[in-house]
Amino acid sequence: MRRLVFLAAGLALLLCVGAAAFGGGESSPSDSTAGRWLINGKAGDVNAYGWPVRPFADTHPVRGNFCDPRYTKSSATFHFGIDISAPDGTSVYPVRSGVVYLRGDHPDVVGVTSADGRSRFEYWHITPAVRTGERAVARTTLLGWIKKGRAHVHFTEINDRVWVNPLRPGALGPYDDSTAPVVGAIRFERAGHMISPERISGVVDIVAAAYDTPSLSAPEPWATLPVTPVVVRWRLLHQRVPLTRWQTVVDCSRSLPLANAFADVYTGRTRKSGPGKPGRYDYSLARGWRSESLPRGVYRIEVVALDVRGNRGEHMLDFTIVGRDLP
């Protein structure tokens, strides 16, 4: 009886301080402004625009998502646009009218600034057909052609100096997505080594794999390669009763996370997709989590992933804490 009383008290304590114990108190995206926007964004918005390649009113394959991991020799960062698949030599046009600028640091980038100066669109990996200062008319002015060997245009939207997701509802369209993200294995690790979920004790890291499948496949060698979901979140349950609020690992539904958050989102085993090589997206749910903050017993982790159209994938894992009880 004393043990049952103790367990009940420990769980009650957790309900009071659960958010702090798990490194934050974020609410579920479905309860947040971003989540409502994600699900209820309406096509045909006055700010919507067509695709930068013909036919403008048709959906084109997207082989790289906003917030996908990207790596250079010296850094790792979030993908600040989307990669629209199209053959080399494809003509590229502005999605909105404005004034052209060419970037001196990237000669294969053409940008167009809106009349009010608040919005910019950039088109990467193209051979320019325009010059800085020219007036660009949406769907009419030829900006350039996709360079040989690229087979895509990297398309970026910047609003008030913030990178935003072009695939958000009410922006680039038409865009339909009926494929749900997939949440794969949930793992407990210590120093990079997996730990059995049946014997959890001490300080551990919690990791989950998740990916999304493009709704329209790009041609080979990019066909069916995975991209990232826009939202990944998790929570803890005991006997099917939530013990914590939803903890958001990443939310790219609207804008890009800060660059220094990359290592907090993706683990070191994450890799991006390449030609014919599927990427691997491992998300860090919690680092240095002290399992002894909970009483011994069986618990459940639930992980959910969402895409920009609100399609949902989820996975759950039961685990057992065998460490000491709360003092």
Mean pLDDT of the region 234-263: 95
Mean pLDDT of the region 239-251: 95
pLDDT, tens digit, for every residue of 177-192? 989 999 999 999 999 8
Residue 279: CB atoms within 10 Å: 17
Q: Is the peptide bond before 242 cis (omega within 30 degrees of 0)?
A: no
Spatial separation of the C-alpha atoms in residues 315 and 212, rounded to whole Å:
14
pLDDT, tens digit, for every residue of 256-272? 999 899 999 999 999 99
* Element (DSSP H or E) covering residue 201: none
Mean pLDDT of the region 293-305: 96
Mean pLDDT of the region 45-59: 89
Kindly list the distances between the CA atom of residue 28 and the CA atoms of 35, 76, 211, 294, in Å, as whole numbers in the listed order: 8, 27, 19, 22
- Domain boundaries, given as residue ranges, for the chain: 2-37+177-321, 47-164
The pLDDT assigned to 46 comes to 56
CATH assignment of 2-37+177-321, among 2.70.50, 1.20.140, 2.30.30, 3.30.70? 2.70.50
pLDDT band at 44 (very low <50, low <70, confident <90, very high): very low
CATH assignment of 47-164, among 3.30.930.10, 3.40.50.620, 2.70.70.10, 3.30.565.10? 2.70.70.10
Mean pLDDT of the region 131-137: 97
- Buried b / exposed e across 294-318, counting CB within 10 Å, b at 16+? bbbeebbbbbbbbbbbbbebbbebe
Spatial separation of the C-alpha atoms in residues 35 and 28, rounded to whole Å:
8
* Element (DSSP H or E) covering residue 197: none
Spatial separation of the C-alpha atoms in residues 158 and 261, rounded to whole Å:
19
pLDDT, tens digit, for every residue of 203-229? 999 999 999 999 899 999 999 999 999
Q: What is the pTM of this model?
A: 0.85
Residue 260: CB atoms within 10 Å: 8
Query: DSSP readout, 235-294?
Result: EEEETTEE-S--EEEEE-SSBPPPGGGHHHHB-TT-B--BTTB--B-EEEEEEEEEGGGS
Q: Could you tell me if 102 and 111 are in contact, meaning their C-beta atoms sit under 8 angstroms apart? A: yes
Q: Choose the weakest-confidence range: 2-6, 73-77, 281-285.
A: 2-6
The mean predicted confidence, pLDDT, of the chain is 87
Within this chain, domains 2-37+177-321 and 47-164 share the same CATH topology:
no
